[in-house]
């Protein structure tokens, strides 16, 4: 009866070649694993960041267009119709600002969604931390408070909606042609709003990608309104 | 002992691969989840857009209903009779929501002449219209609301001299000091809470300017009662009036006043009333997959042939 230990002692060991081969193959396997692992991880981070920008851009466009669609114009009662669009040029395209009175501001103070008009402003300022990018700022305040300067109301605080905007281009359709700026106070009553508004927003996504968000909205008050007769003749 | 160890060593490659695959699976699943959230938010936006267009189609249907009335009047004129707007008209009938492509669209049409006009509280020279003021106060009493709120409304819309000093300085929003462009202004009047606003909304309007007449054929009982204090006390009489007009709508002023006490009739005639409506508010509602949109659009009858102009458009 040979003891077990003797068998173990007689077992031949690995040669140097075998060991090197094994380590080499293992290294290869791990390297492949690591590279595919990092590719997946990188793809995930990149994809998520792009999706975040996509979500951000769509949310901004949605809010801006629903607010513009409810711009104030009341043919019966005199009201402060305001829609002032100014064109500016940025480092990589237009950086327009728009200021308007709307009945449907994104952040309503009351729950039922009904109240007097609010004055909303969208403007772009240079992002100090990122070259070539702009911060999209939005302010909102009661149009009544804005109209009465005697109240000495403090300027409303700006909310930064995004800090990676490359350009914002807003065009206005006056029922005949598209124009770059809009100035409602200089227009005749009941024709102070554009019939349609086009918005083009460009935002920077990681890895130098540029994402475009475009929309075109109609303004019901301008489309269907514009009463041909003053109220006294009805 | 040693043999067993040797056997275990063989699984190391499999183990490494499995760990790798597990890690990658976690990453991929996580990514898929966040992609799904992105997809859901996009789908939600699409559904909101669908609701919006369903609501808009509701408004279009409402406009067609009121325009059909004008067209009928032109095609089949009744000689010697002016056109009247009543609750028996097609636009006033209730419509059940229509199923359209998996969503729902519905429409409610209300004429504005059935309501009391907030902008009628002041005359065109910006002085208070005492008749309108008393009637509005009576309506507030009927609705179990404080008539003092009417004074607050007058101060909010009237010239700045009317408002007592310091009254509006408490809030950040200064008074309008002019006619209310939309009914939403009512919310800013001190003392008008959301509950009071919702209570008042079916009875108050802001159009037209310079015309305080209500349409006696469409006015709700509360508004008819507010015509005169004697009517406010006599609910039976108001009920009888409402019942009578359902059977036989009032064609002219005398149809309404004929059964009333002559003194009351004279007082009501002084207030003025109408059998026609010039303004109609169409509420279009759309819903699709959990999203909903409401559009309140007020149209004015411009010409006699069914031409309507939009005077107010409010989305919610």
Cβ–Cβ of B309/A75 closer than 8 Å? yes
Say if residue A3 is exposed, middle or buried (CB neighbours under 10 Å; 0-12, 13-18, 19+).
Answer: exposed
Question: Nearest CB to B34: which of A51, A117, A225?
Answer: A51
The residue whose two tokens read 């100090």 is: A128
A129 conformational bin, left if phi > 0, alpha if psi -120 to 50, beta if neither: alpha
How confident is residue B166, by pLDDT bands cut at 50, 70 and 90? Answer: very low
Question: With 70 as the cut, is the pLDDT of residue B143 above it?
Answer: yes
Q: Does the interface ipTM go beyond 0.90?
A: no
How confident is residue A7, by pLDDT bands cut at 50, 70 and 90? Answer: low
How confident is residue A79, by pLDDT bands cut at 50, 70 and 90? Answer: confident
Is A58 near chain B, with CB under 8 Å?
A: yes
Per residue in A89-111, is it b (16+ CB within 10 Å) or e — as a string?
Answer: ebeeebbbbbbbbbbbbbeeeee
The pLDDT mean for chain A works out to 84
A95 conformational bin, left if phi > 0, alpha if psi -120 to 50, beta if neither: beta
Question: Nearest CB to A76: which of B35, B302, B311?
Answer: B311
The residue whose two tokens read 């240079």 is: A126
How confident is residue B256, by pLDDT bands cut at 50, 70 and 90? Answer: confident
At B124, list the tokens.
Answer: 């065109």
**Which of 129-148 (A) contact B at CB < 8 A?**
142, 144-145, 148
User: Which residues on B lie below 8 Å from A79 (Cβ)?
Assistant: 181
Question: With 50 as the cut, is the pLDDT of residue A115 above it?
Answer: yes
DSSP B23: H
Q: How many angstroms away from the CA of B49 is the closest CA of chain A?
A: 10
For residues A198 and A216, the answer to whether their CB atoms sit within 8 Å is yes
What integer pLDDT is reported at residue B138 of this predicted model? Answer: 95
Is B26 near chain A, with CB under 8 Å?
A: no
Q: How many angstroms away from the CA of B5 is the closest CA of chain A?
A: 12
pTM of the entire structure?
Answer: 0.83
Residue of chain B whose Cα is closest to the Cα of A78 = B181
Cβ–Cβ of B181/A231 closer than 8 Å? no
The pLDDT mean for chain B works out to 86
Which candidate in B32, B113, B173, B178 is best for mutational testing of the A interface (most A CBs within 10 A)?
B173
What integer pLDDT is reported at residue A229 of this predicted model? Answer: 36
Residue A227: other Cβ atoms inside 10 A: 17
What average pLDDT does range A32-52 have in this prediction? 87
Cβ–Cβ of B174/A8 closer than 8 Å? no
**Which of 4-43 (A) contact B at CB < 8 A?**
8, 26, 29-30, 33, 36-37, 40-41, 43
State the Rg of chain A over Cα.
Answer: 31
């Amino acid at each position: 009866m040979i003891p077990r230990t003797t068998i173990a002692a007689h077992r031949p060991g690995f040669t140097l070649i075998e060991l090197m081969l094994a380590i080499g193959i293992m290294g290869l396997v791990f390297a492949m694993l690591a590279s595919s692992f990092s590719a997946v991880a990188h793809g995930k981070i990149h994809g998520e960041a792009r999706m975040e920008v996509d979500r951000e851009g769509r949310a901004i466009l949605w809010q801006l267009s629903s607010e513009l669609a409810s711009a104030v114009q009341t043919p019966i009662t005199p009201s402060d119709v305001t829609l002032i669009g100014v064109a500016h040029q940025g480092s990589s395209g237009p950086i327009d600002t728009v200021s308007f009175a709307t009945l449907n501001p994104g952040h309503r103070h009351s729950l039922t969604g009904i109240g007097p008009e609010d004055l909303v402003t969208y403007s772009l300022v240079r992002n100090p931390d990122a070259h070539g990018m702009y911060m999209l700022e939005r302010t909102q305040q009661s149009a009544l408070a804005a109209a009465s300067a005697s109240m000495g109301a403090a300027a409303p605080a700006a909310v930064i909606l995004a800090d990676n905007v490359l350009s914002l281009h807003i065009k206005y359709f006056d029922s005949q042609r598209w124009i770059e700026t809009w100035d409602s106070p200089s227009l005749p009553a009941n024709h102070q709003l554009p019939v349609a508004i086009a918005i083009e927003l460009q935002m920077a996504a990681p890895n130098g990608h540029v994402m475009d968000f475009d929309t075109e909205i109609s303004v019901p008050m301008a489309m269907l309104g514009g009463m041909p007769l003053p109220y006294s003749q009805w | 002992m040693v043999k067993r160890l040797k056997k275990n060593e063989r699984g190391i490659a499999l183990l490494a691969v499995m760990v790798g695959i597990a890690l990658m699976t976690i990453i991929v699943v996580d990514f898929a989840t966040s992609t799904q959230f992105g997809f859901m938010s996009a789908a939600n936006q699409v559904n909101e857009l669908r609701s919006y267009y369903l609501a808009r189609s509701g408004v279009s249907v409402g406009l067609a209903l009121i325009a059909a009335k004008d067209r009928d009047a032109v095609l089949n004129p009744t000689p010697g009779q002016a056109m009247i707007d009543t609750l028996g008209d097609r636009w006033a009938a209730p419509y059940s929501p229509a199923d359209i492509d998996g969503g729902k669209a519905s429409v409610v049409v209300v004429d504005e002449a059935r309501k009391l006009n907030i902008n009628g509280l002041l005359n065109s020279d910006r002085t208070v219209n005492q008749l309108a003021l008393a009637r509005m106060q009576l309506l507030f009493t009927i609705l179990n609301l404080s008539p003092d709120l009417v004074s607050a409304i007058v101060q909010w819309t009237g010239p700045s001299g009317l408002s007592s000093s310091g009254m509006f300085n408490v809030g950040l929003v200064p008074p309008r000091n002019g006619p209310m462009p939309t009914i939403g202004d009512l919310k800013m009047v001190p003392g008008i809470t959301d509950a009071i606003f919702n209570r008042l909304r079916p009875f108050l309007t802001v159009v037209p300017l310079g015309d305080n007449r209500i349409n006696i054929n469409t006015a709700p009982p509360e508004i008819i009662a507010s015509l005169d204090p004697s009517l406010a006390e006599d609910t039976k009489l108001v009920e009888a009036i409402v019942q009578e007009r359902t059977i036989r709508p009032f064609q002219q002023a005398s149809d309404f006043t004929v059964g009333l006490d002559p003194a009351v009739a004279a007082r009501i005639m002084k207030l003025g009333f109408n059998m026609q409506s010039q303004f109609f508010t169409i509420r279009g509602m759309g819903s699709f997959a959990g999203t909903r949109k409401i559009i309140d659009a007020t149209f004015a009858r411009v010409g006699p042939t069914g031409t309507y102009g939009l005077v107010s458009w409010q989305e919610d």
